[in-house]
């Protein structure tokens, strides 16, 4: 059923658009601190462990609870939980709202405990499934199993942290949830620097750091919850209406909201069958790629979801269409230049961040090739991050599932065509099947970079399908402004390419050392690119930028004489 406008389509900035912009700015600023901490963390891990056996084993072990975290925590609970809980915050008493939160927290805690114990118990089977290429290397396989068992308690902790963050976001408090990941980064850095040198198996320190970081992520969100009168003491009430509604939404959400993580896990499975280090190259590239994703796309979608949910709950579909359109236009002006910048500067960025210690020039080059391929998917992934919450705000959960399934099929098909022929390994039946399939379907031999490109193509498929359906669901959302902003941002972004390439080619990024010089050149190059983009945008899209700024920074004009 199409959600039609209940009145004139809003052309002027609405209060919800301003709330989205302000909240996105806050989340983006705090996420910037967190992402910088994440890059420092990965730089430290790269320095001590490089892209060898220990790093591959840890990254696979850390992937497993992270996947489930996306399923039952951030991906599922937040998208399913916030629309329901926002309704309680808006329409119900404080006592009813707290009761719903306690019932949901109790059910979720039990589910997380069961999954955590199962993960610890079935670590060997999980490693066999998610890293079949490791089966041929017994020492690597055993280390991965050991690390998986040490890391899995993080699933329970991050799940509860995500629930706390969902409650706070429903109350329009974004600071603590956005800032909490920095404590995970600090814990892992501390473990790598302080604990690792004291252990017989140094990489185990990273697992301990992950668990300690999970504890801190929960702890930092408890004070703002208490200030709002929310006390998540256990309350066993599985039949509570809020629990039933969230579980109803979570069923399809479990798959639909986690498609990106599923593709990353598929990349890990396939990369385990490629030459050693492939898993690590993809990990480091993903970490850099997720910096702009978290800084802008996740920030905007996180800020927009409560507004989308509130508008849909009140039947204000005209305002909802306006808010979705505004969020997409804002994303166009961020994600498109981000894509161009990452592609042009992939090697310099990786060299500055990671090329030191155990992480050599070859590792940097191979990681950069994956980063450039991931960057192609930045724009479609960012737009999908806006559209999926809009569907769930409309309580239409089946569409993201269908589009996610199509994208998953596209990812698998593109992967086997782009990764090249896989060598046969008799120790793993799955790798043997993969080798046979790639022998017949491989088109080009891009290895791990082909897997990254396949993820980007899958993100594009997912976004296009979501956009086609959303266009029919929200008839009040006009297509022309979205296309115009995309074209204008693309032209402005294209203007950056030549000056950035000229600046970046003034230095040989593969030579060892000169870290300060490389960092300086990279920063200047980024500054030049941003300046050219801003100038081009001001020339070709003055009215568009003016409209967006009227929403993003209305107070600055109010203070002008």
Q: What is the pLDDT of residue 550?
A: 53
- Where do we find the tokens 């891990």? 45
Cα(303)–Cα(299) distance, integer angstroms:
6
Q: Cα-Cα-Cα-Cα dihedral of 536, 328, 9, 174, to 10°? A: -110
Give the pair of three-digit tokens for residue 327.
Answer: 């969020």
Q: Tell me, what's the pLDDT at 129?
A: 83
Neighbours of 536 (CB within 10 A): 19
- Token couple for 257: 């909201």
Residue 197: CB atoms within 10 A of its CB come to 10
Which pLDDT score, from 0 to 100, does residue 527 have?
Answer: 93
Q: HEC string of 399-449?
A: HHHHHHHHHHHHHHHHHHHHECCCCCCCCCHHHHHHHHHHHHHCCCECCHH
Ordered mean pLDDT values, 10 residues apiece, the chain (561 residues): 45 56 62 76 85 85 78 60 70 76 84 91 89 84 93 91 80 76 90 91 93 93 83 79 75 59 76 83 86 70 70 77 84 91 94 84 91 94 86 79 88 91 69 81 88 93 91 80 90 94 87 83 92 91 66 45 38
State the pLDDT at residue 28: 62
Does the global pTM surpass 0.85?
no
Residues 6 or more apart whose Cβ sits within 8 Å of residue 542? none
Q: Give the integer Cα–Cα distance in Å for 41 and 271.
A: 23
Residue 125 near residue 89, CB atoms below 8 Å: no
Backbone angles phi, psi at 152, to 5 degrees: -60, -30
DSSP one-letter code for 296? I
Q: Which of 373, 351, 381 is nearest to 363 (CA)?
A: 351
* Cα gap 6→317, rounded to integer Å: 6
pLDDT of residue 29: 66
User: What pLDDT shows up at residue 561?
Assistant: 38
Q: Give the C-alpha separation, 544 to 484, whole Å.
A: 9
């Amino acid at each position: 059923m199409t959600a039609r406008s209940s009145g004139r389509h809003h052309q002027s900035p609405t209060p919800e658009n301003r709330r989205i912009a302000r909240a996105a700015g806050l989340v983006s600023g705090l996420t910037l601190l967190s992402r910088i901490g994440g890059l420092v963390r990965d730089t430290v891990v790269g320095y001590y462990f490089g892209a060898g056996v220990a790093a591959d084993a840890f990254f696979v072990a850390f992937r497993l609870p992270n996947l489930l975290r996306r399923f039952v925590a951030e991906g599922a609970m937040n998208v399913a939980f916030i629309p329901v809980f926002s309704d309680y915050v808006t329409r119900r008493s404080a006592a009813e709202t707290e009761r719903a939160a306690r019932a949901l927290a109790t059910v979720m805690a039990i589910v997380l405990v069961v999954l955590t114990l199962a993960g610890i118990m079935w670590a060997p089977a999980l490693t066999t499934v998610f890293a079949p290429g490791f089966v041929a290397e017994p020492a690597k396989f055993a280390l991965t199993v050991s690390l998986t068992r040490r890391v899995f308690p993080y699933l329970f902790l991050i799940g509860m942290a995500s629930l706390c963050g969902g409650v706070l976001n429903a109350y329009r408090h974004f600071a603590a949830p956005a800032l909490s990941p920095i404590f995970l980064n600090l814990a892992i850095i501390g473990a790598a620097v302080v604990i690792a040198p004291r252990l017989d198996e140094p990489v185990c320190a990273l697992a301990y750091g992950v668990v300690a970081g999970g504890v801190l992520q929960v702890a930092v969100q408890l004070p703002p919850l208490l200030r709002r009168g929310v006390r998540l003491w256990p309350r066993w009430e599985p039949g509570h209406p809020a629990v039933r509604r969230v579980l109803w939404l979570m069923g399809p959400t479990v798959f639909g909201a986690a498609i990106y993580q599923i593709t990353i896990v598929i990349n890990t499975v396939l990369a385990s069958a490629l030459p050693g280090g492939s898993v690590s190259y993809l990990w480091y590239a993903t970490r850099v790629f997720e910096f702009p994703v978290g800084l802008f796309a996740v920030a905007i979608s996180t800020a927009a979801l409560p507004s989308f949910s509130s508008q849909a709950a009140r039947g204000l579909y005209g305002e909802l269409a306006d808010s979705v359109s505004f969020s997409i236009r804002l994303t166009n002006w961020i994600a498109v230049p981000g894509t161009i910048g990452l592609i042009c500067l992939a090697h310099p960025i990786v060299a500055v961040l990671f090329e030191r210690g155990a992480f050599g020039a070859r590792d940097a080059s191979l990681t950069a090739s994956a980063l450039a391929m991931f960057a192609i998917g930045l724009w479609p992934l960012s737009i999908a991050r806006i559209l999926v919450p809009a569907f769930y705000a409309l309580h239409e959960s089946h569409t993201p599932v269908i589009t996610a399934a199509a994208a998953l099929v596209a990812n698998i098909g593109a992967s086997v065509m782009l990764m090249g022929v896989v060598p046969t390994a008799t120790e793993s039946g799955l790798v043997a099947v993969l080798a046979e399939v790639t022998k017949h379907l491989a088109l080009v031999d891009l290895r791990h970079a082909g897997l990254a490109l396949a993820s980007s193509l899958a993100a594009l498929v997912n976004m296009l399908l979501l956009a086609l359906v959303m266009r029919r669901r929200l008839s009040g959302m006009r297509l022309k402004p979205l296309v115009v902003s995309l074209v204008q941002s693309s032209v402005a972004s294209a203007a950056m390419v030549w000056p950035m390439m000229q600046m970046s080619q003034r230095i040989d990024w593969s030579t060892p050392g000169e870290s300060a010089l490389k960092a300086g050149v990279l920063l200047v190059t980024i500054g030049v690119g941003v300046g050219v983009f801003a100038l081009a945008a001001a020339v070709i899209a003055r009215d568009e930028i003016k409209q967006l700024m009227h929403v993003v920074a209305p107070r600055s004009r109010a203070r002008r004489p």
